[in-house]
Every structure is written in C-alpha cells, then in structure tokens.
Amino acid sequence: MQETRDSIQDIWGPRTPHQGDWPVRVDARVLEEPEQWVQSACVMCSNGCALDIGVRGGRIVGVRGRGVDRVNHGRLGPKGLNAWEANNSPDRLTRPLVRRNGQLVETTWDEAMDLLVTRSKAIRDRYTAGAIGFYNTGQIFIEEYYTLGVIGKAGLGTPHMDGNTRLCTATAAAALIETFGCDGQPGSYADLDVTDAILHFGHNIAATQTVLWARVLDRRASPNPPRLIVVDPRRTATAREADIHLAPRAGTNVALLNGLLHLLISNGHVDHTYVQLHTIGFEQLEQTVAKWPAERVEQVTGVPAKQLQAAAEILGTTPTLVSTLLQGVYQSAQATAAACQVNNLHLLRGLIGKPGSGILQMNGQPTSQNTRECGANGELPGFRNWHNPEHVRELARIWNVEESIIPHEGPPTHAMQIFHYAEAGSIRLLWIICTNPAVSMPELARIRKILQKEDLFVVVQDAFLTETAQLADLVLPTALWGEKTGTFTNTDRTVHISYKAVEPPGEARTDLDIFLDYARRMDFRDKDGTPLIKWHDPESAFEAWKVCSRGRPCDYSGITYARLTGGSGIQWPCNDLHPNGTERLYTDQIFPSDPNYCEEYGHDLATGASQTPEQYKAFNPGGRAFLKAADYLPPEEQPDEQYPLWYSTGRVVYHFHTRTKTARAAALQGAAPDAYVQLSPDDAARYGIAEGDMVQVESRRGQLAAPARIGDIEPGHVFVPFHYGYWDDAERSRAANELTITSWDPVSKQPHFKFAAVRIRKV
C-alpha cells in the first residue's frame, strides 16, 4: 500500500504556511498500483476536493488528489482517502428487491419498474399526482437531479418533492434568499488565503471539511495569521485553535448575534455609506439589536460580556472577514434568523464581494448545492421563483409543457411535511432516493412507523440495504460514485466532473438510468406529444440543464464536459460574460433582489409567513440587500425538572451521514466504531459517571445508550453523534435521532437537531 500519510492519525497533514497561493501537496492512498487514473472529485462532504480514482483489474484501488484544482490543491482528508472502499464492499445491492409476504426478495428490473409504474399510474389516476412524494438527497449528480426535477414538475406535476438537504442546507439557501434575494454562495475558498479574520459560527470545520480546515491552519501558521473566532457550545478541535471561543447555551444563537451587532453599531463600526447605498432595513435592525447589551447577552447565552466585546472588536475593525456557518446554526433554534444575522455582520461593514471578504453558508453534503439548483428540493430549477408567473412561463417554454402542470399554487412541500402527509395518508407512494431517513430524520420511532404503513408504497433507491431500505416495499439497486459519470458543485460554486471509473456490481443501475427508464415507461410527453425527457445520457442531460440555467444566477451555460476535463473545476456563473467562471459574487455590490429576478419574496423571520409580491415590491429593493432583523425567541423545548439537560447531535471527523459508506471503510470505522455520550466533567461527577461507562439518555420521544466521553462540552449539555444506526449493530438503541424533536425552523423548514431536553443515568 502507498499512502502519503496516515490520515486517520494525522487528519489535517503537516503545515505548509501560506499567505496568498496555497501550496500544492498531492495526498494519495492506493492499495495496488493503478493501471489507469480517472478524473473525479470527492463526495464525502461539501468541500468537493478534486481527485483521481485509481483503477486496476476493473476495481477501484485508490485515490490521489488533483494538484491542479482550485479547491484542494491536491489535499485529501481521511474520508476522501478511505471511503471509496465502500464501492468494493461485498454487501452491495446487485438486484432489485420486492416485498412479498413480508420479506424482501430478488426480482428483475423489468418487474420492479413495471410495479413502480403500475403503482404510480394507479395512485395518480385515483388520487392525483399529489399522492406521490419524493424524498431525495444531497449525494447524486446534477444530471440526475435535473431529470428528477423535470419528472416531478412537468411529468407528474406533484409539489411533494424535497431533498434530505432540508436537514442539511435548507437554512443556507433560505438565509441567502432572505438577505440577497437569491441562493448562491457569495464567497470563495480563495478568500481564506488572504483574509484578516475568520468567523466559524456553529461550524466544526476541523471535523466536517478537513481539507478546508487544513487551509485555515496553514494561514494560521503563516507570519500574518488571520484572527479566528469560533462559536460552538463544545470545545472542538476548531474551537481549540480559536483566538476567541464563544460557547453559548443551546438555542441562543440569535441573542448572541444580536449582541455582536449591537456592539458593532454602538462602537461606531458601521460603514454607513455602504449601508445607505446597498442595503434596506438598518433602522429596524438597529432598534432590534439595541435590546441586547452585552450583559443581557451574558444572562441568556452564558457567554461572558468581556468575551463578546473582544469578539465584536475583531469583527468591527478587521479590514476583511470570512464567515462560515453550518449545522450549529442551521439545525438550531431560529436557524434562518441567526444565519441572516451573520450576513448582516458583513453588510454593516461592507465586507462582501471583495478579496478576503466573503460569506460561506456552508453545505453539508457533497452535491446539496445541486439539489437546490436543479429543482429536486421542490423549488423551481435555476433558482426560479414559484411566486413569479414569468418564471413559471419560462420553465413551461423550456420544457414545452402547459404552465398548469408545473406546481406553483403555493410553496413546494418540505420534507417534514411530506412525511406528515405520508403519516396522514394523503401521500400513498413515497420514493426515497439515496438517503436514509430511518436514521437521519428526527424522532425515529415515528419515522419507522410511517415507513411501515400499510397504505404507503415505499420505494428506496440505494446501493446498500440501509435501515430505510429494510422497510421498503421496493428496493432499486444503484451505482455509486466512481461507477457513473456526472457533475456536481461544491460549497464555493466550483463545478467538477466525476467520470465513471468502474462498472457497478451486478445489475445495479445509475440513478439517471432509473429516472430515464421511469419517464419512458410513464410515457411523459410534452405539448407536441414528443417525449418530455429529451436526453439519454449524462452529457446530454447536462446540456439540457445548461439551457435551463442560462440567464439565472447559477448560469452553467459556459461550462462543458470538455472544459471540466483535465484541469481544475470551474465556479459558476460561467457564461459569455464570465467565460472562465466567477471567483466571488457581488463584486459590484448589486444583489439579485430585483422582484423580477429574485428567487422568493421573503418571509417574516419569526413566524415564517411569506411576504406577498406586493409587499416585497413595496421595498423597492433595486439591487440592494436586506438587513433582516430578528429578536430572540427561546426554543420550544427546554430542560425542566424531569428532563434537566440540553441535548444536541452532530458529526465526527471519520464518518459521513449515516455511515452507509464510511462504516464500510475499515480504517474509518475502526477509528470511530460506536456512538458516544459527551458530558462535562461537572455533569459526569453529578451523575456518578466515569469515562467509558454506559449511559442511557432519554427524551420524551425515545432513549439510547452509549459509552460516556467526558470533557470539552459546557455543563448542562449532552452531545451524541448522529451517524450510528442499526444495520451493523442492532443490539441496543443507539441512534441519536431516537430522541430528537419533530419541529422545524419557520422559514427554512429545517428540523431542530441541536436542542431537546433529556435526562441521563448510568446503565
């Protein structure tokens, strides 16, 4: 075996200090000498590190980073270097399965697709297409999402389609829309190379995007390091590196951010000329945050006033700033409201659209950006506005269908509502694609019950017999990354191509081929009676997507497979105006908030109520951004006498999502084989718990048991990683989401995984 370093022990690799260009270092891990290398990019997080897949004898034998790529400059982290082993796992699904007499048994593709189509038609004819729902993913390719989006919107005409991105990045999209009028990451990873200060808010980047963290560490090791502020209730590896670590109580992000904004304003650290020219809403923001002096923030959040003031001093005076956010904001209380306040920090100081100044409302999953762009999360493709008749007309023209079939009478159905409709019986066919809600959704006992309902036909499309697939009526085996060709986009808008390197096992098919077959068998037609889906392979699907994206903020029209091949990924928008892509958005300080162009008309951050087109137009945004204010509201469930501790869930560095792939890579699974319960030393002493003791954690919804891990967390808080389900260990209840709560952010509809009330005891 050749390995450039042991990434399990040395997660981020040795330091290569830099200011400006990040040095190239090619990380690799190969088990046998490859006969050929095939261009691809990593799909184990949203960073999108470019890599080549090593192939020998028709099998994947290793990977190496692509030094030429702008995203990772050749670096790879532990998941990128190891998780490909899952492709070679002996327990891959190789034939479709159908439930007969309570058992899943093998069947043919013809029978499986025939059953799916017969059920779809019967349900559509009897109950309308509104009885068919799709719950998809953040892990397939643009070509697949777009095809799925067209099937749902112009073939069936169902509003019930969403991705598991609802659990992951829905708040990123919502906050960008609320502030700027449209989704799209303003910043670029290159901003980290030159910035003077970094804010990681609710983003344990050291564990979730290890290569990006290596880039930050390399800046921190340079002679001119950026100041670093980290906000996290746990003392993570990210927090340990910080100059200032703020550890607020669960659910208090908005109070903390309002305190920071108040200090910026009261200290005179506002660029008033910028605010006047480029924003709307300063007066209301000023009034709202004025209620949050540092002393009150300390009472509510537990963050000492002095620490808050020190952080505000950096944020108020730094000439450039990069902020990143992730699940500590998105999955917590008032998610969109909090994420908007980070946008506000940048707008008050005019720190956006300039080298070294950018916002990265991070994504979690590798291709979740594309779920949002291509219409697979329910929104109209190309960041089009369901509320804008001209946007609907434009799509109807592109697809050559009647406008009436495209669902646009109201907002698309979000995932939590899709499961509720399935529970209530109005959705009767639920097609789950490349995701595992039986481990990842909140309140798992409820989810299992829904998936087992007699009147719900559950289709699961996956490469493994996951906990969800085990409950399905029909299982369609899929090809994984490396076994199919397609494109995807990372957090900083970089589009990569991933070529097929090896054949999928047995009869497994690509997600694209399954969708194309379904569309053919359903006989979806356009207005002229010709087939609705006019593409037949990945490249022709990408060309169709380019037509749909043209003229929109996520414009791919200048990208081709050929241009993505051989060199670096390309950042959208890439079109006639920006033939080489676009490093950062909003360099002209003009935001996509024009009513004819914007993606949505905004919401009340407290209630989630949609603004009407008329209300929105009355702001006369004219390319300005919105400084949306929000006052703090306490979380709906809080510790009490019965359940006295805060509970939150999260990630570990060695695993991705529900471990479907990472648990099948020996080194990753060996490094993190089981769940754990993280407690503060104070709480451990109070409950008589020692390191490694088995601890039962119980909420009003369920319980789990896992070994104790003591330290690096605030007293009163309990943390459990969410990756662990039951396919490889059904002995004890250990899934973190047995305990979480069925509630969600009013704007982004992202469920709450970062707060619940629990009690613990030593088992």
Q: Which residues bind ligand SF4 (CB under 6 A)?
A: 42, 44-45, 47-49, 72, 76-77, 79-80, 209-211
Strands 227-231 and 197-201: what pairing?
Answer: parallel
Question: Rounded to the nearest whole angstrom, what is the least distance from the CB of residue 490 to ligand SF4 in the complex?
Answer: 8
Strands (E), 333-372: 358-361
Is 287 exposed, middle or buried, given 0-12, 13-18 or 19+ CB atoms closer than 10 A? exposed
SS3 461: strand
Largest CA-CA distance found in the chain, in angstroms, rounded: 73
Question: Rounded to the nearest whole angstrom, what is the least distance from the CB of residue 31 to ligand SF4 in the complex?
Answer: 17
Amino acid at 752: H
Q: Residue 83 or 311: which CB sits closer to ligand SF4?
A: 83
Q: Residue 651 or 734: which CB sits closer to ligand SF4?
A: 651
- Secondary structure element (H or E) that encloses residue 135, with its range: strand 132-136
The two structure tokens encoding residue 241: 């590196």
The two structure tokens encoding residue 622: 């004219």
Residue nearest to ligand SF4 (CB): 80
Strands 625-626 and 279-280: what pairing?
Answer: parallel
Question: Rounded to the nearest whole angstrom, what is the least distance from the CB of residue 210 to ligand SF4 in the complex?
Answer: 5
Cβ partners under 8 Å of residue 642, min gap 6: 757, 759
Question: Rounded to the nearest whole angstrom, what is the least distance from the CB of residue 25 to ligand SF4 in the complex?
Answer: 13
Per-residue exposure over 633-672, b if at least 16 CB sit within 10 Å of its own CB, e if not: eebebebeeebebbbbbbbbbbbbbbbbbbbbbebbbebb
Q: Residue 210 or 699: which CB sits closer to ligand SF4?
A: 210
Q: Residue 190 or 684: which CB sits closer to ligand SF4?
A: 190
Question: Rounded to the nearest whole angstrom, what is the least distance from the CB of residue 65 to ligand SF4 in the complex?
Answer: 8
Cβ partners under 8 Å of residue 673, min gap 6: none
Q: Residue 76 or 172: which CB sits closer to ligand SF4?
A: 76
Q: Residue 48 or 133: which CB sits closer to ligand SF4?
A: 48
Q: Residue 210 or 258: which CB sits closer to ligand SF4?
A: 210
Question: Rounded to the nearest whole angstrom, what is the least distance from the CB of residue 49 to ligand SF4 in the complex?
Answer: 3
Q: Residue 42 or 154: which CB sits closer to ligand SF4?
A: 42
Question: Rounded to the nearest whole angstrom, what is the least distance from the CB of residue 80 to ligand SF4 in the complex?
Answer: 2
Strands 717-721 and 645-650: what pairing?
Answer: parallel
The backbone torsions φ and ψ at residue 43, rounded to the nearest 5 degrees and listed phi first, read -115, 35
Question: Rounded to the nearest whole angstrom, what is the least distance from the CB of residue 203 to ligand SF4 in the complex?
Answer: 13
Q: Is 201 left (phi over 0), alpha (psi -120 to 50) or beta?
A: beta
Question: Rounded to the nearest whole angstrom, what is the least distance from the CB of residue 411 to ligand SF4 in the complex?
Answer: 31
Q: Residue 84 or 282: which CB sits closer to ligand SF4?
A: 84
Cα 733 to Cα 329: distance, rounded to the nearest angstrom: 27
